[in-house]
Structure 1
C-alpha cells in the first residue's frame, strides 16, 4: 500500500512539474528546443553522478535516487529535461509508469559489473527497447565507468547485448562514458539531441 501511495505522489509531482514548465513559458520562446527524456539503469550504474556533473553540480553527498528526480541539462543545441528513475528493485518494477511523455531514452550501465549483473542489465535494456511506449524513441546507451581497468569494452558490450539484431531500424547510440571524461559525455548527449531532432522532423513530415 505504501509503495502505491508513493507512486501516486511521484506521478502527481511529474504532472505538476510538466504543467509548471508549460505555464511558465509565456515569455519569448526558448532559443533552443526542449525535449523530455527518461533515464534508466540499474543501481550503481552512475546515472545520478553523470547528470549532476552535466548540470555543473558537485558530487559530494550524492546518494542513489529513491523514486525519481528531474533536472534540466542545457546543451548548445537543446535543453534536455531528464527524468532519472531509481534502479533499485522496488522502484524498477514501476519504471513503465513514468515513461509517458518521453521523447527519448538514456540507458546507463556499469561496464565493470559481474556476468550475472550484466545479464540482468541486458534483460532490462531489451525490455526497454521493446516497450510499446519506448520502442520508437531514440536511445542513448552509455557504457559507464570506462576508466576502470575492469570495464568491458564498448564493442564487447555491443556484441553481448545483441544490439545490432535487436535494435535494427531504431535510432540508437552506444557510447562509453566516465565521470572523468565529461566532455565526451556531453558529445554523446549532443548526438542524442541530433536523433531527437531527426525524429521530430520525420513526425512533422508525416
Structure 2
C-alpha cells in the first residue's frame, strides 16, 4: 500500500512539473526551420571561410571549392542549408544548372579586389539575380576584406553595383566583414535570417487563409 502511494505521489509530481514547464514556457524548444540558401561569388572571395567561421571550423584548413559543397549552419532561431558553388572561371558558366529551389541568396565579394575582378563580380551578380529561379529571392551581399587598406566601403561597393536599381523589388542587404570575426558574421546573418523567417511566416499565413485550406477545415 505504501509503495503504491509513493508511486502515485511520484506520478503527481511528474505531472505537476510538466504542467509548470508548459505554463512557464520552459518546455522543449520549438523546431528550428530549415532554409535552403545558395552561396556564390568569385574564387577567393571568402565564401568557404565565412561558412567555416560560422561553423567553428579551422580556417587554416580551408580549400577552394571546385564544384559545390553543402553545409548546414546552425543558428539559435533557424538552420541554413547552404549550397556553395565554386567561383572559378571554368565553374561559373555552369552556375545556373544549380539554380534550383532556394529561399535566399548569399553573394560574397572581396572588397579589396582590383577593379577588373570587381567588375566581373558585378556582372556575375547581376546575371544571377535576374535569373528566373532566383529573381524574387532575398539577397545578402557580403563584402570581405574590410580590414585591408585598399578595401572599398559598403557605400562605395553599393554604388558600384547600382544596388538601389538592380535589386529594386526584392529584399536585400549589403554588409562588410572580416571573415575571421564570428561576432560580426552572426550579427549580419541575424538580419538575413529575420527576413527569411518573416517570409516563411507570411507564406504559412497565406496558406492558412487560402480557399483550399478553408474548405478542408
TM-score (norm 2): 0.79
User: Which residue of 2 is the match for residue 135 of structure 1?
Assistant: 135
Partners of 2:144 and 2:41 in 1: CA distance = 11
- Does the residue aligned with 1:49 lie in a helix, a strand or coil? helix
User: Which residue of 1 is the match for residue 186 of structure 2?
Assistant: 186
Q: Does 1:36 align with 2:36?
A: yes
**Equivalent runs, 1:44-193 vs 2, <5 Å:** 44-193=44-193
Partners of 2:124 and 2:61 in 1: CA distance = 28
Shift, 1:30, TM fit = 6.5
Q: Which has the larger radius of gyration?
A: 2
User: Which residue of 2 is the match for residue 201 of structure 1?
Assistant: 201
User: Which residue of 2 is the match for residue 23 of structure 1?
Assistant: none
Q: Write out per-residue CA displacement over residues 95-150 of structure 1, whole angstroms, 9 at most, x where no aligned residue.
A: 11112011110000000111111111111111111111111111110011111111
Shift, 1:29, TM fit = 9.9
Cα RMSD for the two superposed structures: 1.5
Contact 2:39 2:107 in 1 (8 A): yes
Shift, 1:36, TM fit = 0.6
Q: Write out per-residue CA displacement over residues 76-99 of structure 1, whole angstroms, 9 at most, x where no aligned residue.
A: 110001100000111111111112
User: Which residue of 1 is the match for residue 8 of structure 2?
Assistant: none
Partners of 2:147 and 2:47 in 1: CA distance = 16
TM-score (norm 1): 0.83
User: Which residue of 2 is the match for residue 25 of structure 1?
Assistant: none
Partners of 1:205 and 1:75 in 2: CA distance = 24
Pair 1:69–1:168, CA change in 2 (3 A):
same
Partners of 2:29 and 2:39 in 1: CA distance = 26
- Does the residue aligned with 2:90 lie in a helix, a strand or coil? helix
Pair 1:29–1:68, CA change in 2 (3 A):
farther
Shift, 1:204, TM fit = 3.0
Partners of 1:167 and 1:60 in 2: CA distance = 35
Partners of 2:30 and 2:66 in 1: CA distance = 31
Q: Runs (4+) of structure 1 moved beyond 4 Å?
A: none
Size of the aligned set, in residue pairs, is: 179
